[in-house]
Every structure is written in C-alpha cells, then in structure tokens.
Structure 1
C-alpha cells in the first residue's frame, strides 16, 4: 500500500495527471517537477514535492521568481494562507485551499455501478485513461470524470456534476465507477487533487486528506 505522508504521493499524482491531461513527462527538479502542458492559459506548471510544513519558503520564492510566462501555474501542497506571501503580486492565488487526497481501492459491487432512473452511464478507455459519462434522458451532460491508472496508483481527474443534476448521487456514481475500473487494472490506491467544492464528495467516499493545496497562476509583471 502506498504511504500517504511522503513525497511519493505527489509523484504518483504527477504521473497520473500527465497521462490524464496528455501533458509532457515531468522534468525532475531539486524541489519537485516541471511539466509542459502547452495550452492557452496553462503553458506549464511547477509542482513542489514536499507537503505541509516540509515545503521550503526559499524554494517557493526562488521558483516563483523565475517564472516569466503568463499562464504558468504553481502547485504547492500547503495552505495558501501560508504560501501566498511567498509568491508576490504577479500571481493569481486561489485563496481557498484544494486538497491532495488518497483512498484505498477495493472491489465495488455491480449494483453500486448502476445509474438511477432517468440517467445513462457510459464508460470507455483511450490512451490509458478511463472515462465515465452520465447523461440524462435527453443526452445532456449530467456528470463526468476520468481516472489514469499508472501501476499501483490511479489519479482521478476532472470530476464534474452539472449544476442542474447535483444532489442525486451522480458524482458518487462516477467516482465509484472510476475506482472500480482502476482496481480492475491492478491499482491499489486512488490519488487526486481536489477543489474545495469536491472535498465533501470525496470525503463521503472515504478519501483522506494528505495535505492542503495552493494553486497559483502567473499573470505577468503588469499585474504587479
């Protein structure tokens, strides 16, 4: 079983995230990882591999100070209330912490993978990523998500429930479906970096917080 208190959780998340998003392989840095993403508004990202109190202010300041590309992101597994002063005025910082979370993967009974009346669940795999889609009777998107198994771990990503379809168990259905698929492929531990909105859903399904998450995007020198 993967230990949930060390930097290997961060590396597992990085490895699964790049598969999920079809990003470049990570470049290993002394403080963590640099990933080329290549999207407008998300050119790339720096991810620190330390968590909580182990995150070094000097490392964050040095790395943040070296960024010059607008749309470059930084991910720090510590509370933004602590890390925000280290980044400076050129950064947009989400003032609500996200969460690095893990869960042991176990078999899921078939009856727990059935969509409620009026909804249809479809899954498929492409490029090593398992996707789950829930639509209503008209074919409208109700909920979705994906998971990238990478050996012993699998990273859940882009979990979403449409506003008009919330509180109907669809997010839980997507998560169970993805977890079951990853377990069938041999993954033992699920990993994700969740938003504040998703925290309640994941916690209800047994996911545990390893560390808070600061998300920040470089806006350019003009912003400062």
Structure 2
C-alpha cells in the first residue's frame, strides 16, 4: 500500500466518527473556551494564548506540537489559515464536528481522534473508597495542584491536575494507567480534584475528554458542552 493511501486512510479514520445529532448542533461558549485554553496552557507550562484569526494561538514548543490554533466554532478564517500552513505539527483544534472540519481543509491535513469539551456545574456523585492497595498523594499549589494515586510500591496508578482561571476549574491530564483501570481510581481522582476546587469556592469546571473518558465523566455529572475536533499536518515517515 502506498504512503499516500496510508495517509488518506488515516485522514478519514475519524472524519466520519459517529456523533449524535444533539452533539453536532451544540455551540461552544467562546468565553468558556478561552478560559479553558488559558488553564490548559498554564497546566502544560506553555506560552499563554494570544488572539489570532478569530480564535487563539498557543506556541506550545513541543517536538510534535509546535503550536495550536484553537477556535470556539467553525469560523470563516479557519480555511484561509489552513491553506497558509505547510509545516508539520501545527494543530487546528475546533469546537465542531470532525466531518465539518475536514470539509474545509486542504487534503494534506489529517483528522485526529475526536475530543469532547465537557463542563461541570454541580457536585459529582460520591466516589468509592480507595482500594487498600493504593494511597493518595496530593500536591497543593497556588497555580497548579496535582492528585496522584500511588501503589504501595510508589508506582503512579492514576494522576490528574487542576488549575483555576477566572472562576473556572480546568481539569487536565486525567489518566489511569492500563494495569490499574476498572478499579474506581478515576472516580476517586476526579472527586479529589473537585474537593480542591470546592476549597477555593469554585464549582464550575471544564475539561476535554477522549471518547473513552467521556463515559466516565458523564457518569460523574459532567455534561457535553461541544465537540472538539483536531487536525494536523504530520511529518513524513
């Protein structure tokens, strides 16, 4: 199979990812997206967002993510911007469906795994008790606080961070390692992060979920705010 066909298959892998009609019609709140992005940049220790092309640009500076352009919807400037970019690892991230994003992009852009911007405006249900073979490790700081679930040997089983921007709690890098999944650790982790927000008097939360994480967060009282689609030009293999 040719490299061109491989790239085309990769491009189309997520463009037709099934979404319910309600999800496709949801429109993101630009203010919420902007505050979430500020928090994301703070949590990831990158440059702060700057206004660009009707959305924001973040100079990320990672080897496989030089920069990201984030938009609260499918704005007219996106197609023009996409045509000016030819170098790899500059990301377009749009609060819209993957199919709608693909329709306005040149052929060399690849659609990546879908994401879901979600919000929390009420307290999560109670989490289960932490299994006896795990312990919590909580680091509180003014800018970024972290919760980790450790094994008795000190191995990180699950972890997550939380930052605060203009009255919004941004939950970031929520992850449970594969050998420790399906033990309720994600629920414990999220409840601990929420407790940190509550201590600061902040109830509203935002995050971007993967397809797998979306189900967990929905069970914890999070609601879908909008779709969150990504496209990138990858470096040739």
Scaled by the length of structure 2, the TM-score of the pair is 0.81
Are 1:15 and 2:38 counterparts? yes
- After the TM superposition, which segments of 4 or more aligned residues of structure 1 sit over 3 Å from their partners? 105-109
- Determine if contact 2:28/2:95 at 8 Å carries over to the other structure: no
Matches within 5 A, 1:1-224: 5-50=28-73, 55-56=74-75, 58-94=76-112, 96-106=113-123, 112=127, 115-126=130-141, 128-219=143-234
Residue aligning to 2:20? none
Report how far residue 125 of structure 1 moved: 3.0
CA distance in 2, matches of 1:41, 1:70: 8
Report how far residue 183 of structure 1 moved: 2.1
Q: Give SS of 2:72's match.
A: strand
Report how far residue 113 of structure 1 moved: 8.2
Please, which runs of 5 or more residues in structure 2 have no aligned partner?
1-26
Q: As a proportion of its length, which structure holds more strand?
A: 1
Scaled by the length of structure 1, the TM-score of the pair is 0.86
- Determine if contact 2:35/2:166 at 8 Å carries over to the other structure: no
Deviation per CA, 1:43-93: give whole Å up to 9, x if none: 11000023xxxx23x322112122233211111011102211222232221
Aligned residues, how many? 211
Please report the RMSD computed on the Cα atoms of aligned residues, expressed in angstroms. 2.2
Structure 1 range deviating more: 35-44 or 126-135: 126-135
CA distance in 2, matches of 1:210, 1:108: 19
